[in-house]
Structure 1
């Protein structure tokens, strides 16, 4: 908690008001008369003042590879730095980087959009960000995630009709692209929380909006993982799928139903429609309790087929649960944005 100081509001001219800034704060940042400051209004009505020095300071992290004794730890740290909005990461080892560490760093960089290796020696590797966050729209990224997951649904449905394994194999590539897009979206949203002036460029209004978007991105990633699991199960079960026409027909119906709920959930989230949200929540509850309970599909005496069906139903229920969470977060956005249905009643009291 910073030190509290009181300032008297001054009137300058006919339509402008001003307050003086703490001298220590000004000197610490090397500011001079005429320098430009950025002023943001927070959702609670308070103001945040940021100097250009604060804005342009680039975060940089140094990772000591010799202290990371478990494989995978370095890649996790690099990813965390990326999410945090870090512009530069150096991985260093006084005794030299072995081939395993170099491979781990390279693989981590390949999964992070805009993060590239710019310098490499025997003892260190430097990664640099080349992405400008102001060039991205959050709404555009949401639509891109929606399109890729819709394609995954489409590939699974096509496989059930065409029996072409290429439709299923392409899901693996889509899953990797969604992982990369998720990492980019998390980075963008955390950067916004550090630099609120970015909000207008990327289409965010407040911190609640940013929080909901981060959660949304997580839900989309998990939906993609469930679809990937379904695809892998289909590949393992292979031609046995088409021996039972009734089971195949029910699977087509359930995939189509889940895809429809997914599309409705995303559109409701984007449009912030609480009335439509309640209809979707009721649909999800009904589908999970009845169609995805497995009653008809599990009426088989083949143990292998029973295990296969249970795994597919588990993944479909998982997708429904993520859709449910997505639409529930609509209410958080709705309340924050305000409206005639639920308006913020502000009351002020003297301190």
Structure 2
């Protein structure tokens, strides 16, 4: 961000004026009679926008195919590129083509529009203004809560098929995460988009962090699902089944409270989420001791649930009043 300083002048004794940067005026095609919109930010700043903003110029990037091509495609998507061209020095191997197509399917709005033996062109047709970040975060959270419930059910009932379905749903959580990060990153350096989405700089940052916590919780739920079939080889006592049922119920009882505490900035919702975390920790101490002698998969499941509960309580802490202290 360019730092520009202007000296405030007075006109007519009661009005204040500053000159606009010439480069900005030229780039935005501002002239005599142009209407400018102004917005006072929560941190005391002043944002200035042309009344009719010009359309954003599409951006493109070239990526050379390699072992990390999937990661490179996702990175380009998150950075906001509209056209992603994957190039091969000679010809694509079949595995590389499949990898590019697999990742393109996981990215909302991404479509392969051109494919040759040496080039695959992916175009992203996602309208950032049509994405409601708050709704995406809520949807992501609901998906993860469902995954957590089914993952533990698969674990205690030895339902391998249910465990696999949990793992598959993690792809949808990732899809929402990638979409949200792309939009939020774009809004971070496009004040006009942030204004149209009605997102303050603080909320933009908080949503980005919250989305990562939820994505991490989804990964941990998927881990429990993957291990469910292996853990089912041992007989679980009724006591262990009851303990895991109680642990997951504590998490499920949190529901959307952490998200609501962040979006609504309500202190009582923050404390409710933190109290649930404290309850999990106290109950979990006894569960961890009981797991001695059981399989490693059960220990993994317990610590995955602990991480999930921590992720959601961390979301609530994003809205914690500055004069308050988190519960220990």
Structure-1 residue corresponding to 2:302: 313
Give the whole-Å Cα distance in 2 for the aligned partners of 1:115 and 1:135: 15
Structure-2 residue corresponding to 1:174: 169
Give the whole-Å Cα distance in 2 for the aligned partners of 1:48 and 1:133: 20
Pick from 138, 142, 147: which aligns with 2:137? 142
Contact 2:63–2:72 under 8 Å retained in 1: no
- Within a 5 Å distance, the mapping from 1:276-295 to structure 2 comes to 276-292=269-285, 294-295=287-288
Pick from 234, 240, 248: which aligns with 2:241? 248
Pick from 57, 60, 67: which aligns with 1:71? 67
- Secondary structure in 2 matching 1:189: helix
Residues 257 and 46 of structure 1: CA distance in aligned 2, closer, same or farther (over 3 Å): closer
Give the whole-Å Cα distance in 1 for the aligned partners of 2:81 and 2:10: 38
Give the whole-Å Cα distance in 1 for the aligned partners of 2:171 and 2:22: 51
- Secondary structure in 2 matching 1:33: coil
- Secondary structure in 1 matching 2:176: helix
Residues 124 and 267 of structure 1: CA distance in aligned 2, closer, same or farther (over 3 Å): same
Residues 137 and 292 of structure 1: CA distance in aligned 2, closer, same or farther (over 3 Å): farther
What value does the CA root-mean-square deviation take over the aligned residues? 3.2
Give the whole-Å Cα distance in 1 for the aligned partners of 2:141 and 2:194: 22
- Secondary structure in 2 matching 1:86: coil
- Secondary structure in 1 matching 2:57: coil
User: Bigger shift: 143-152 or 215-224?
Assistant: 143-152
Give the whole-Å Cα distance in 1 for the aligned partners of 2:154 and 2:91: 49
Structure-2 residue corresponding to 1:45: 44
Shift of residue 82, structure 1, vs aligned partner:
1.2
Q: TM-score, normalised by structure 1?
A: 0.79
Is 1:92–2:87 an aligned residue pair? yes
- Secondary structure in 2 matching 1:294: helix
Contact 1:63–1:91 under 8 Å retained in 2: yes
Query: Number of matched residues?
Result: 323
Is 1:195–2:190 an aligned residue pair? yes
Contact 2:104–2:111 under 8 Å retained in 1: yes
Shift of residue 43, structure 1, vs aligned partner:
3.6
Give the whole-Å Cα distance in 2 for the aligned partners of 1:295 and 1:45: 49
Shift of residue 306, structure 1, vs aligned partner:
3.7
Unaligned runs of 5+ in 2: none
Shift of residue 215, structure 1, vs aligned partner:
0.5
Give the whole-Å Cα distance in 1 for the aligned partners of 2:45 and 2:76: 29
Contact 2:138–2:256 under 8 Å retained in 1: no
Structure-2 residue corresponding to 1:124: 119
Structure-2 residue corresponding to 1:347: none
Q: Deviations over 1:49-91 (max 9, x none)?
A: 45589852334232241xx6x501x222221221122212222
Unaligned runs of 5+ in 1: 336-340, 343-351
Shift of residue 119, structure 1, vs aligned partner:
1.5
- Secondary structure in 2 matching 1:220: helix
Residues 316 and 222 of structure 1: CA distance in aligned 2, closer, same or farther (over 3 Å): same
- Secondary structure in 1 matching 2:114: strand
Contact 2:243–2:287 under 8 Å retained in 1: no
Give the whole-Å Cα distance in 2 for the aligned partners of 1:247 and 1:314: 15
User: Bigger shift: 178-187 or 38-47?
Assistant: 38-47
Structure-2 residue corresponding to 1:322: 311
Shift of residue 29, structure 1, vs aligned partner:
4.8
